[in-house]
Amino acid sequence: MATDAGQAVYKFDHGYPTPDTTLRARNDAELQRATVAYRFWYPAVSNEGIFNGNRAVGINDNEAIGIAACGPRQVGFTLNSDTPYGSGCLDVSKGPMVIELPPGPYIGLIDDHYQVRGDRRVRRALGR
């Protein structure tokens, strides 16, 4: 008896998987777990790469931000090539932080390592 699961064919002998099927099923499960882990951590790895790049050029946490008009030379997993970006790392482990912006139009967001927008977290905390 054989069972087709996508591209893999699992073969059974008297209701038990053959040694090849056992190995194939284990490899398929490991690939699935690796894919899920990669997709889950992708935003965090991207943000940490940007933060480490900022730190390497002297942009210290809680002190300044880096500005990039992205193009083909910039590397970031989740960057658009036609969008200006400002990025900095705010360490709020010791308590909340106030961010002051000059008056005028402003389009932007604050997100955490998993790219969950900060305003969602605030609304959730306020019960809205």
For 12-41, the pLDDT digits (tens) are: 999 999 999 999 999 999 999 999 988 888
Amino acid identity of residue 42, one-letter, is Y
Q: State the pLDDT at residue 41.
A: 84
List the chain residues with pLDDT less than 70: 1-8, 70-79, 106-107, 109, 114-128
Q: Please provide the size of the chain in residues.
A: 128
Residue 108 and residue 72 in contact, taking contact as beta carbons nearer than 8 Å: no
Question: Residues near 72 by Cβ (< 8 Å), separated by ≥ 6?
Answer: 81
Q: Which of 82, 46, 85 is nearest to 66 (CA)?
A: 85
Q: State the pLDDT at residue 9.
A: 82
Residue 61 and residue 88 in contact, taking contact as beta carbons nearer than 8 Å: yes
Q: In what order do the strands lie in the sheet with 8-13?
A: 2-5, 8-13, 16-17
